[in-house]
Amino acid sequence: MSDPLTRLLAELPPAEPDPLRAERTRRGCRALLARQASRAPATRGLSADRAAMRVWELLIAGLGVAYLTEVIVQALQVYGLS
Amino acid sequence: MERDIELALVERLRRGDPNAFDDVYAAFNTRLFTFLVRLSRRRDVAEDLLEETWLRLVKHARRLGADTRLGPWLFTVARNLHVSYIRSRMLEDSTAASLIALWPFSLERSSPFEAAAASELERRIERALAAMPAASREVLLLVAVAGLDHSDAADICGITPEALRQRLHRARETLSKVLERDTEAGAPAPRGITSCPIR
């Protein structure tokens, strides 16, 4: 598209936003991005801790079930039901 | 912006590098503001939408695809924010319009560019652009002013490339007619405009 109308539109002067506000926006966004980046490793550490906790919970639950099963088996043997 | 530089910037943004943000900001801030201020016809609205566009980029930085094209991504966000703004204002504007209709004289405001335009011709083009329907104005701004290609502009507007081609054709026709009407009314003719074939 290189007709005169398109050329005229392409040559319209650009607009500049208020420099003070633009600078405030840029700084705010930079800070937010940096905060997000610094939070990211901490979040990863937190999820690793959670996974370890979950393994322990499952292990303890498994041992509890085994213990209760053994108690029931022993009780049935004592009463001569097994 | 070169594609390999853009891909590197996207990767750095995904990692949360603030210097990458500065580079993207420097490359697109003026272009985005120019688009938004001509689309909304108000500096204050354009500045709000521009700020929100950058905040969206930062909030989505970690979720950006590795092959994201920053220009189309930013213009899509800016354009969608403007659509949301227009929708939220629609009810308010219709109420205001009915009240303004009762006013004894016209309250038409000039666009911010009209007052600042350096030449009579620029002023006429700005006035004609500002008077166009938003859908026509946005395709002209994306393709002719921001310099995006047709397929990117179609993606940004959420329409097919064929629909964009038709919309662009109508928009240019409308703009030419407005400029011609101005010329007939006594303004000097922009060179080549009246005789240019509209595709």
Whether B199 and A3 lie within 8 Å, measured CB to CB: yes
- Report DSSP letters for chain B, one per residue: --HHHHHHHHHHHHTT-HHHHHHHHHHHHHHHHHHHHHHHS-HHHHHHHHHHHHHHHHHHGGG--TT--HHHHHHHHHHHHHHHHHHHHHHHHHHHHHHHTTSSS--PPPPHHHHH-SSHHHHHHHHHHHHS-HHHHHHHIIIIIS---HHHHHHHHTS-HHHHHHHHHHHHHHHHHHHHHHHHTTPPPPTTTTTPPP-
pLDDT tens by residue, B4-53:
899 999 999 999 999 999 999 999 999 999 999 999 989 999 999 999 99
Residue type at A57? E
Domains and CATH numbers, chain B: 1-109 (1.10.1740.10), 111-189 (1.10.10.10)
Whether A33 and B144 lie within 8 Å, measured CB to CB: no
**Distance separating alpha carbons of residues B174 and A7, to the nearest angstrom:** 16
Percent of chain B residues topping a pLDDT of 70 = 78
Q: Which of A6, A21, A30 sits opposite B22 (nearest CB)?
A: A30
| Torsion of the alpha carbons at A70, A72, A73 and A76, rounded to the nearest 10 | 160
Tell me if chain B has a CB within 8 Å of the CB of A43.
no
Q: Tell the burial category of B2 from Cβ atoms under 10 Å away from its Cβ (0-12, 13-18, 19+).
A: exposed
Residue of B115, B109, B114 lying closest to B125 (CA atoms) = B114
Six-digit token string for B71: 């220009």
Q: How many CB pairs under 8 A join A and B?
A: 109
Six-digit token string for B195: 């005789």
Residue of A33, A52, A3 lying closest to B23 (CA atoms) = A33
Q: What's residue B115's pLDDT?
A: 55
pLDDT at A66 over 50: yes
| ipTM value for the complex | 0.73
Whether B193 and A1 lie within 8 Å, measured CB to CB: no
Q: Which of B18, B145, B193 sits opposite A12 (nearest CB)?
A: B145
pLDDT at B111 over 80: no
Angle value at C-alpha B162, between B37 and A1, nearest 5 degrees: 60
Q: Which residue has the tokens 């594609």?
A: B3
Closest chain B residue to A10, measured at CA: B145
Residue type at B145? V
Model confidence at A11, pLDDT cuts 50, 70, 90, reads confident
Q: What is the mean pLDDT of residues B57-71?
A: 94
pTM > 0.80: no
Q: What's residue B106's pLDDT?
A: 43
Contact A29, B25 (CB under 8 A): yes
Model confidence at B199, pLDDT cuts 50, 70, 90, reads very low
Whether B175 and A5 lie within 8 Å, measured CB to CB: yes
Contact B167, B139 (CB under 8 A): yes
Measured in angstroms, the CA of B21 and the nearest CA of chain A are apart by 7
pLDDT at B103 over 90: no
Q: What's residue B60's pLDDT?
A: 94
Whether A29 and B62 lie within 8 Å, measured CB to CB: no
Residue of B128, B169, B123, B141 lying closest to B32 (CA atoms) = B141
Q: What is the mean pLDDT of residues A55-60?
A: 94
Tell me if chain A has a CB within 8 Å of the CB of B126.
yes
Q: What is the mean pLDDT of residues B135-156?
A: 93
Interface test with B, best of A12, A20, A21, A44 (most B CBs within 10 A): A12
Q: Which residues in chain B have Cβ-Cβ distances shorter than 8 Å to A27?
A: none
